[in-house]
Copies of this chain bind each other. A is one copy, B any other.
Amino acid sequence: MNAHFRYARRMDGMKASEIRELLKLVDRPEVISFAGGIPDPAMFPAEAARVAYAKALRRPNAALQYGISEGYGPLREWIAAQMLRDGVAATADNILITAGSQQGLDFLAKALISPGDAVLTQYPTYLGALQAFSAYEPSYDRLRLDGGNRTPASYLGRAAARGGAVKALYLVPDFANPTGLSLSLPEREAALGLARELDAVVIEDAAYRALRFSGEDLPSLQALDVAATGGLEASRVAYLGTFSKTVAPGMRVGWVCASRDLIARLTLINQASALHVSTINQIAMFDIAAGGLDPIIAVARANYRRKRDALLDALERYARDLAWTVPEGGLFSWATLPEGADAAALLQRSLAKVGVAFVPGAAFHPDGSGANTLRLSYSLPTTERIEEGIWRLAKVL
């Protein structure tokens, strides 16, 4: 059996095709979907996009031509300035533009992981990261930030037993997909301390970081590491940012911020893969961002906060047998059924009887555990549909 069959089979074991089918249901009007992690299109800055594309096409020779693999210079400079606002002194040379943060995950895995190497992640974690990593055949080990019996030596020992080294820690510190939870400051420090002891790269997935709507801002892992090590060139954190949740995912523009050395390696990988992110999309995204991203994000935050509140109210009212997380930002809450219950079976029942979709939690666990958990995304339905969806769901619980 060669690489692609092994790969396809593993992907299948992760139920990627099922998830994909679920996402398609979003368009069926009778279904209320808490499934896809899809931004609310009412938040897209449509008018700014119209202006930006029209403006980009006034210079068609640039907008429609090949670009360099690093990405469009002015956009990289704008992002570097944003990183500085967030506590990381970066320059354009520390930024690689990627087709969303998903492509950054793929490129980092390609740069870092040889078959058998270990990636440490919290369970559950983002399914798309597991898909990106799994193509390079790592083993997974469960990252425990509360210490317990997992010492650095135990992570190294387990990786060595599988014939590899610990190459990376993958974390979504803010309003994680799928749980909606954030790492506390001590947990952030613990993750960085462990990474230093393991001499591993920290992949910080900041996809939702801009979408905080309650609670207090916490420094990014990269900002903490830069403060501790004295600068980005000495930092072991690769920060993945994206415009998909703040502007629009259909433009496929995200970025990696890291040391120049790592960015140079990722740039070579980009050159051998898609060459570069669409030139016109980068120019248009720069125009939208430079025109002012803060007001656009403020509207999105207020919107998602209303929707989160609607979800939590409805759960409180109709679904008290569930346990759920209270996110301070982002798009997701995470619910737990009673021990022994099966969320995949619940989904079948829920779709057939009451027309409600969500993502069963097992898909987010590298070891296939979490059968009694599920992800509820509140980003897409209206507040009325959110309430009705939870009311309907409660009938099949």
Interface residues of A (CB under 8 A from B): 2-4, 7-8, 11, 16, 20, 23-24, 36, 38-39, 41-42, 44, 46, 49-50, 53-54, 57, 60-69, 98-100, 102-103, 106, 110-114, 117, 128, 131-132, 134-136, 165, 167, 244, 247-252, 264-265, 268-269, 271-281
Given contacts A44-B61, A252-B277, A281-B280, contact A134 B50 (CB under 8 A): no
Are A265 and B8 within 8 A (Cβ)?
A: yes
Are A2 and B167 within 8 A (Cβ)?
A: yes
Q: In the complex, which residues of chain B have a beta carbon less than 8 angstroms from the beta carbon of A68?
A: 20, 23-24
Q: How many copies does the complex hold?
A: 2
Are B53 and A271 within 8 A (Cβ)?
A: no
> How far is A20 from B70 in the complex, measured between Cα atoms in Å?
11
Pick the residue among B64, B131, B249, B250 that contacts A272 (CB under 8 A). Answer: B131
> How far is A316 from B301 in the complex, measured between Cα atoms in Å?
66
Are A38 and B65 within 8 A (Cβ)?
A: yes
Are A275 and B65 within 8 A (Cβ)?
A: no
Q: In the complex, which residues of chain B have a beta carbon less than 8 angstroms from the beta carbon of A271?
A: 16, 20, 128, 131
Q: In the complex, which residues of chain B have a beta carbon less than 8 angstroms from the beta carbon of A106?
A: 272-274
Select from chain B the residue with minimum beta-carbon distance to A10.
Answer: B268
> How far is A251 from B282 in the complex, measured between Cα atoms in Å?
10
Are B274 and A99 within 8 A (Cβ)?
A: yes
Select from chain B the residue with minimum beta-carbon distance to A133.
Answer: B272
Report A75 CB to chain B, min CB distance, Å.
14
Pick the residue among B50, B60, B250, B280 that contacts A279 (CB under 8 A). Answer: B250
Are A64 and B251 within 8 A (Cβ)?
A: yes
Interface centre among A8, A117, A134, A250 (most CB of B within 10 A): A250
Q: 9 closest A-B pairs (Cβ-Cβ)?
A: A250-B279, A64-B248, A46-B60, A131-B272, A41-B61, A99-B274, A4-B111, A64-B250, A106-B273
Given contacts A49-B57, A60-B49, A251-B64, contact A110 B131 (CB under 8 A): no
Are B54 and A272 within 8 A (Cβ)?
A: no
What are 20 of the A-B contact pairs (CB < 8 Å)? A2-B165, A3-B110, A3-B113, A8-B265, A38-B65, A39-B65, A41-B65, A50-B54, A63-B250, A64-B247, A66-B244, A66-B249, A99-B275, A103-B273, A103-B274, A131-B272, A134-B272, A252-B274, A252-B275, A252-B279
Select from chain B the residue with minimum beta-carbon distance to A41.
Answer: B61
Q: In the complex, which residues of chain B have a beta carbon less than 8 angstroms from the beta carbon of A132?
A: 272-273
> How far is A318 from B46 in the complex, measured between Cα atoms in Å?
55
Are A100 and B274 within 8 A (Cβ)?
A: yes
> How far is A264 from B3 in the complex, measured between Cα atoms in Å?
15
Select from chain B the residue with minimum beta-carbon distance to A283.
Answer: B250
Report A276 CB to chain B, min CB distance, Å.
8
Q: In the complex, which residues of chain B have a beta carbon less than 8 angstroms from the beta carbon of A57?
A: 46, 49-50, 53
> How far is A4 from B117 in the complex, measured between Cα atoms in Å?
13
Q: In the complex, which residues of chain B have a beta carbon less than 8 angstroms from the beta carbon of A112?
A: 2-4
Select from chain B the residue with minimum beta-carbon distance to A269.
Answer: B135
Pick the residue among B38, B62, B249, B268 that contacts A8 (CB under 8 A). Answer: B268
> How far is A132 from B46 in the complex, measured between Cα atoms in Å?
36
Select from chain B the residue with minimum beta-carbon distance to A43.
Answer: B64
